[in-house]
Structure 1
Amino acid sequence: MNTLTSSEQTFTRRVEAMESPAFLDALRDIKHGVEREGLRIEPAGALAVTQHPEALGAALTHDCITTDFSESLLEFITPPVASSEITETQLKDIHKFALENMGGELLWPLSMPCFIDDEARIPLAYYGESNVAQMKRVYRMGLKNRYGSMMQAISGVHFNFSLPDSFWKVWADYTGQTYSQDQVSADYLAMVRNYRRLCWLLPYLYGASPALCHSFMKGKPTNLPFKKVGKGTLYMPYATSLRMSDLGYTNSEQSALQICYNQIATYTEKLRSAMYTPSERFGQYAAGEGGHYQQLSKNILQIENELYSPIRPKQPTSSMEKPTDALVRRGVSYVEVRVLDVNPFSPVGITKSQMDFLDVFMVSCLMMESPDMTPEELVVCRENMDKVVLEGRNPELKLHTNGSDIAFSAWTKKLFAQFRKTAELLDKANQSSDYSIAVNTEWEKVCDPALTPSGRILDALLAENKDNVVFGLELAQRYAAEINGYDYKQYSREDFERMASESIAAQKAVEAADDKSFADFIHDYFAEPMATRAS
């Protein structure tokens, strides 16, 4: 007797179809890249407020070493490649070169910031004197005024995922579509919708911020029932990722935007509307009046990147091209997964096994049926995420789907039955067992919450009544020693020295090419006609 639902039958048929040689060949060329953020800290553990090390190159123009919100917040970027092992070794190389050129400073290994006694001391990132550089700095000034610098000092890991054109051509044929960029974009959005439905699972598996330093909460009202460990560490017993809670990278005003993932047209329309709709809350800050800039604009979003979303459909942009224009003109070419905490149990913030599981997760999201999302369903998705980030390891946790509650354990059991099928498929394509091993590793965390990063962190803090700042500093010191012992593999020291030199020259070229005032530059950026159709 067949007890599979219609959706499960569709998933099974798609898995079976992908066992064809054409699909298997294409699945070998899944590409991923990583963007890892991390604060520079002094040897004793305080925030480093020094300038971006000159030996690392120019943050404005460097391909793989830059800064995020703060001069203290490094961001390491790997290019898209098919091998997760190569990505991991690229990250190790970047970390090695950075640590060798940070003057004895360390890299903070946790998502939530180290002890910061005064958020006014968090230095804004500096990119030079060009118009583009000033725009980046004013944007960050706007983030500081709108949300506070402490929130912007939170670190995360972004995972970029794409399927090759060869896959989409076979997929179009299998699903009875005509291969085109519109078709590829529509199918990426189908993947994104299912990701939104299921991404609550990722903070459970990879959330690593169940605790935070009391300095983060200075002056912030909260109703969360925090407990205390050590001298000043606040934690929640079942929390997985406070970074993804209302304390961290979320914005309640943005929740009202109802960003739609059903079609590219509606997605870009919602984003653009937020960029050009005045905000009463942010109207108090200057946006160019009399030459004074405290933000780029007084609208709900200064630019599209201000949207805090657990995933973004992406298309690489050309110089000064808006992300929505790139999507309209050339469609979706990859997706950016944005819910990952920095993994404190990896010297580079993420592991190969994590990347292998994320491949399984994203391919599974594509193979599941993906009806359009209603505004009501989007609210449910947010509520499920909120429950997991605050109560994810609670054995009584229930989530909501299809109009009713379901036990966390029951839903994850169903999902992992599908993940195992996808993992077997990817193993067959790559002649490995890595994907099945990765799925089994994550399943062990479902069976035993103490094995999750958040569980391991709290166990370590509570066992020794230890503050998370002490825990983080111990890891930072250990990883600096480990990375010092690595040999360069994907890059060489000379490669990084050349990239640094080239980036500095490129920044000077950008500055020399400016031919208008900053006020005119900003006016022209926002006045440029928006792209209206894909080519």
Structure 2
Amino acid sequence: MNQPESTSQAVLPTWVDSSLFKGMLRGIERESLRMQNNGFLSQALHPKALGSALTHPHITTDYSEALMEFITPPQDSIQKVLHYLEDIHAIAHRHLEHGEKLWPLSMPCMLDDNEENIRLAQYGSSNIGRFKTLYRHGLGVRYGRRMQTISGVHYNLSFPDPVFEALQQHETDAALKQLSLQDYRSHRYFGLIRNFIRLTPLVMFLVGASPSVCQCFMTGREHQLLPLLKGTLFLPYATALRMGNFGYQNSAQKQLGIHYNTMSGYLDGLQKAVKTPYAPFSRLGLNNAQDEPIQINDHVLQIENEYYSLVRPKQVPQAGETPSQALEKRGVGYVELRAVDVNPYSPIGIDENTAAFLEVLALYCLLQDSPDLLDAEQEQIERNQIEVVNRGRAPNASIIDPTGQHPMEQWARTHIMEMQTLADILNETYSTDLYSTALNVMLKRIDEVDETLSAQVIADTVENGGTWNFGSVMAQQHALSYEQHQLSSETLSYFDDLAMQSLQQQEQLEQDNCLSFEQYLTDYR
């Protein structure tokens, strides 16, 4: 195949200097189910020795009581953020009870036929804790609990202000030059977001790792998946079923028309969704026969976080703020890249190649032109995503963009080649070769589709005799690596103190309840 010419000079302005990127920060959120020894989802409570899932900053739960979420603080290098994530995993593993292990795949371990056995996450008796559990109950009522057992990795990334100051200085548009730094930074982050959405098929192809699923996950659902072997379903060329029709989907949200063309348009769309009743959710009712609440409200979104998206603009909320209020007041502080499957071959769900690739990709998305994302292009992108999710490794898989239709490999290779100079400049910033190494790994996956994570998962699932066997083998390997991970005495005492403080904070919140939960919910509604 002819190699496309690199146009990377056009991507990297001549004035960009590697020192600009010194203040980049990244953080990782990784989800993982707790699995019993028999392969089924854990029915046990969140281990108390790990502290309170409501108030612990690094170890919490997501949808279900068994779905753990590990959150690093922002770090100034990839090595540091991965090491921090290793520490969290090793701490969590120490306190797992009854021989439980962390399930290593995005798609869940064995679930039984009764959805009610997927226990909702519990956060204690404070109003905020009960509200969080009710939100999860509402998700289950709306979309079913199985969908909420899927795990992912979120990669949070921010660029330092000197990058935005330099970009603004070189703008030719007078209106953009006049913006405050906060507004200009938000403008550029929204451009990054639009381009990331355009390039999500590249992420799914290169780091997608959910081409198959335990048959139990599809109980009671119509599907077009094929049997791979007993108990495992798949599609022959799939990359990331987690990102497709069987993953986080919300037909109500499709009608919202939330765009990332302007901050005000995005926030208005979110607010409208949080305030607009939706007939199918109204029909479910707000309370059950015993007059207990079953969802927060009957709106398109119960709360803003219910809006599923491939990437989110983020700002750290202060006490009492919603995510939207934080964005409105202080602008975009970082982006959350959410289209990333758990890598089952890494004990922490992500490796340095994926991390470095995502950082180069984010810089590429920041520096490229980013026209408004209109409905026609959005529909085309969604078709591209479906193509890559279901058959991205097929020999005739193709992508359509504004310049026409392209074979998947050619389209992917063109973009990776254009990113090379960006990898070089980040290598220079950090005195490393990590970024160019990561792109070379991705090029190998493009050149030889059997090198992709999704192809490896299929091969290893077959070799081990099914999804559960493969996942169990990896879970056992990862458990050994957590046990071998050296934790300093300072780290151990830091996490012990955090666990104790978080339990005290939860207790304080419970004592501070001055409203009944019924009144609290009525006020919110």
Q: In 1, are the aligned partners of 2:104 and 2:474 still within 8 Å (CA)?
A: yes
SS at match of 1:435: helix
Partners of 1:384 and 1:128 in 2: CA distance: 43
| Residue 306 of structure 2 corresponds to residue 306 of structure 1 | yes
The aligned residue for residue 237 of structure 2 is 238
SS at match of 2:168: helix
User: Which string of whole-angstrom CA distances, capped at 9 and with x for unpartnered residues, describes residues 153-183 of structure 1?
Assistant: 1111111011112222222212252452111
Q: In 2, are the aligned partners of 1:158 and 1:338 still within 8 Å (CA)?
A: yes
Q: How does 1:21-420 map to 2 (within 5 A)?
A: 24-103=18-97, 104-117=99-112, 118-175=114-171, 177-178=177-178, 179-222=180-223, 224=224, 226-287=225-286, 292-402=292-402, 404-420=404-420
Q: In 2, are the aligned partners of 1:33 and 1:161 still within 8 Å (CA)?
A: yes
User: Which string of whole-angstrom CA distances, capped at 9 and with x for unpartnered residues, describes residues 443-480 of structure 1?
Assistant: 1101111111110011122345x110110011101110
SS at match of 1:37: strand
Q: Normalising by the residue count of structure 1, what TM-score does the alignment of the two structures yield?
A: 0.93
Q: In 2, are the aligned partners of 1:41 and 1:47 still within 8 Å (CA)?
A: yes
Q: In 1, are the aligned partners of 2:87 and 2:487 still within 8 Å (CA)?
A: yes
Partners of 1:426 and 1:514 in 2: CA distance: 49
Q: Which amino acid in the other structure matches residue 269 of structure 1? A: D
Q: Which amino acid in the other structure matches residue 115 of structure 1? A: M
Q: Which amino acid in the other structure matches residue 110 of structure 1? A: L
Q: CA deviation at 1:88?
A: 0.8
Q: CA deviation at 1:231?
A: 1.9
Q: Which moved more, 1:291-300 or 1:304-313?
A: 291-300
Q: Normalising by the residue count of structure 2, what TM-score does the alignment of the two structures yield?
A: 0.94
Q: CA deviation at 1:267?
A: 0.3
Partners of 1:397 and 1:13 in 2: CA distance: 28
Q: CA deviation at 1:247?
A: 0.5
SS at match of 2:33: strand
Q: CA deviation at 1:12?
A: 2.6
Q: CA deviation at 1:291?
A: 5.3
User: Which string of whole-angstrom CA distances, capped at 9 and with x for unpartnered residues, describes residues 302-326 of structure 1?
Assistant: 1111111100111111233221121
Partners of 1:463 and 1:520 in 2: CA distance: 56
Q: CA deviation at 1:18?
A: 4.8
SS at match of 2:239: coil
Partners of 1:170 and 1:280 in 2: CA distance: 49
Partners of 2:413 and 2:489 in 1: CA distance: 38
SS at match of 1:282: helix
SS at match of 1:283: helix
Partners of 1:490 and 1:250 in 2: CA distance: 44
Change (3 A) 1:306 1:329: same
Q: Which amino acid in the other structure matches residue 512 of structure 2? A: A
Q: Which moved more, 1:149-158 or 1:508-517?
A: 508-517
Q: Which amino acid in the other structure matches residue 96 of structure 1? A: A
Partners of 1:196 and 1:292 in 2: CA distance: 40
Q: Which amino acid in the other structure matches residue 95 of structure 2? A: N
Q: CA deviation at 1:421?
A: 1.4
| Structure 1 unmatched runs, 5+ | 527-535
| Length, aligned pairs only | 514
Q: In 1, are the aligned partners of 2:11 and 2:418 still within 8 Å (CA)?
A: no
The aligned residue for residue 427 of structure 1 is 427
Partners of 2:41 and 2:369 in 1: CA distance: 46
Change (3 A) 1:321 1:19: closer
Partners of 2:55 and 2:357 in 1: CA distance: 32
Partners of 1:521 and 1:316 in 2: CA distance: 24
SS at match of 1:413: helix
The aligned residue for residue 459 of structure 1 is 459
| Structure 2 unmatched runs, 5+ | none
Change (3 A) 1:463 1:196: same
Q: In 2, are the aligned partners of 1:112 and 1:209 still within 8 Å (CA)?
A: yes
